[in-house]
């Protein structure tokens, strides 16, 4: 089994080095192993007292070419995670770990399902009194417009702690419910 330190020390891109993400040695196992590996990793985080958040980012993107391109990965890492970490104190910015999938909805639109793990101190900067902090909510609403370096907009988003009565495994099973998804491990 992989220790938390091994997971934290292994990354595969310069920007991704800011976060922990899915290490490159998990990539070779492909999407079939993604769910099992992600469940193990995030269950470990939960047992060690980290806060776990479920993420859904919806888009109107219907182009499979763009969904399978580097644009979608760059959006998660450069736009979404950047905005999340800007609300954290410097000492906590590198303490965020994540995994995600990009899935096609029944309507043919690609969207993200993800999971974030962070120290409880960081979670209080993101979520308080049963809602996203207003400053973060406002920041993420800025993604509703396409950008010069973003070929799609995020029309809605949900970021919340794993709901009461559900487990990390339940959320990850939901994330990988279809075979028509692209996992973060594929990049």
Looking at residue 186, what is its pLDDT?
Answer: 66
What secondary structure, in 3-state letters, does 94-133 show?
HHCEEEEEEEECCCCCEEEEEEEEECHHHHHHHEECCEEC
Residue 25 has pLDDT above 60, yes or no: no
Q: Percentage of the chain surpassing pLDDT 90?
A: 42
Stretch 93-116: mean pLDDT? 91
**Do 41 and 99 contact (CB within 8 A), yes or no?**
yes
Q: What is the pTM for the complete model shown?
A: 0.80
The domain spans of the chain are 4-186
Q: What is the pLDDT of residues 140-164, one digit of tens each?
A: 998 888 877 777 889 999 999 988 8
Stretch 48-63: mean pLDDT? 92
């Amino acid at each position: 089994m992989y220790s938390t330190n091994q997971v934290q020390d292994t990354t595969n891109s310069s920007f991704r080095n800011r976060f922990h993400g899915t290490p490159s040695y998990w990539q070779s196992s492909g999407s079939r192993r993604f769910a099992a590996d992600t469940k193990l990793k995030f269950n470990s985080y939960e047992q060690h007292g980290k806060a776990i958040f479920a993420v859904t980012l919806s888009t109107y993107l219907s182009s499979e070419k763009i969904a399978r391109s580097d644009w979608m990965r760059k959006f998660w890492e450069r736009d979404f995670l950047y905005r999340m970490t800007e609300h954290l104190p410097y000492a906590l910015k590198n303490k965020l770990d994540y995994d995600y999938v990009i899935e096609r909805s029944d309507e043919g639109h690609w969207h993200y399902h993800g999971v974030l793990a962070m120290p409880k101190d960081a979670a209080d900067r993101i979520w308080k009194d049963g809602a996203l902090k207003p400053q973060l909510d406002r920041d993420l609403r800025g993604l509703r417009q396409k950008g010069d370096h973003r070929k799609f907009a995020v029309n809605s988003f949900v970021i919340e702690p794993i709901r009461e009565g559900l487990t990390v495994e339940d959320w990850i099973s939901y994330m990988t419910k279809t075979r028509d998804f692209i996992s973060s491990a594929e990049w």
